[in-house]
């Protein structure tokens, strides 16, 4: 008979991006948005992690060029392709898009891009508010692992994450925060029980 196994995860994680790296990545994304996206664009953060990144991008755009895009947020809980099975008690937050997206460029913003399923759901949610001229995608971290053919237009940093590993993003919407970081947690380690 096989021994039972227990799973432990490295609870400390390894810092993949420190506060300075996060600030630099956000500035890089803001600069690229200013170079490539036509004037009059809006930012829409994907709840939860994309909202604070959106706030930081707004600060970076204003300080770089004085650009103050309109900002909104979408909650994708009911748009997920696994909503019926993965969300027995969904935590649904409000979507808030206080502008008309129809006919304008909209930059969707998230903290981490992995499978692409969150982005697909966010596009569906955004389209319920109107049909933008173009939807761009900005992410703080691209960790790979696509399951859908979705790619970011603007990437703060690509991070190699081993199979089974995860990224944890702790970024405040406050541009003066010095505790921002992205941590990389290793894959679960399986060992035989004693």
User: pLDDT per residue over 27-44, tens digit each?
Assistant: 999 999 999 999 999 999
Sheet with 134-142: list strands edge to edge: 70-74, 42-46, 105-113, 134-142, 154-158
CA separation for the pair 29, 60 (Å, rounded): 9
pLDDT in tens, the chain (194 residues): 333 333 334 456 899 999 999 999 999 999 999 999 999 999 999 998 999 999 999 999 999 999 999 999 999 988 877 655 555 555 667 899 999 999 999 999 999 999 999 999 999 999 999 999 999 999 999 999 999 999 999 999 999 998 889 999 999 877 776 789 999 998 765 444 45
pLDDT reported for residue 148: 95
Provide the residue ranges of all domains of the chain, joining segments of one domain with +.
18-84+93-164
CA separation for the pair 153, 67 (Å, rounded): 19
> CB of 122 within 8 A of CB of 79?
yes
> What's this model's pTM, rounded to 2 decimal places?
0.85
pLDDT reported for residue 117: 94
Name every residue whose Cβ is closer than 8 Å to that of residue 123 and which is 6 or more positions away in sequence. Answer: 108, 135
Give the three-class secondary structure for 139: strand
User: CA Rg, the chain, in Å?
Assistant: 18
pLDDT reported for residue 105: 98
pLDDT reported for residue 9: 41
**Residue carrying structure tokens 């937050």:** 93
pLDDT reported for residue 88: 57
Give the three-class secondary structure for 103: coil
The domain defined by 18-84+93-164 folds into: Rossmann fold (3.40.50)
pLDDT reported for residue 188: 62
Smallest Cα–Cα separation from 119: which of 133, 135, 101?
Answer: 135
pLDDT reported for residue 77: 87
User: pLDDT per residue over 73-101, tens digit each?
Assistant: 999 988 877 655 555 555 667 899 999 99
């Amino acid at each position: 008979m096989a021994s039972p196994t227990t799973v432990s995860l490295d609870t400390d994680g390894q810092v993949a991006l420190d506060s300075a790296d996060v600030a630099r990545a956000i500035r890089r994304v803001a600069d690229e948005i200013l170079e490539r996206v036509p004037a009059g664009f809006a930012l829409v953060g994907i709840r939860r992690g994309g909202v604070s990144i959106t706030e930081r991008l707004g600060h970076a755009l204003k300080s770089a060029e004085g650009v103050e895009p309109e900002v909104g947020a979408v909650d994708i809980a009911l748009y997920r392709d696994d909503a019926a099975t993965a969300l027995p008690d969904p935590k649904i937050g409000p979507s808030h898009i206080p502008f008309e997206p129809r006919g304008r460029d909209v930059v969707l913003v998230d903290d981490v891009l992995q499978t692409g399923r969150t982005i697909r759901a966010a596009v569906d949610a955004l389209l319920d508010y109107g049909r933008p001229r173009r939807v761009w995608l900005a992410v703080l971290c691209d960790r790979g692992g696509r399951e859908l053919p979705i790619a970011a237009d603007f990437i703060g940093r690509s991070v190699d994450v081993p199979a089974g590993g995860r990224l944890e993003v702790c970024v405040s919407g406050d541009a003066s925060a010095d505790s921002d970081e992205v941590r990389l947690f290793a894959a679960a380690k399986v060992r035989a029980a004693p």
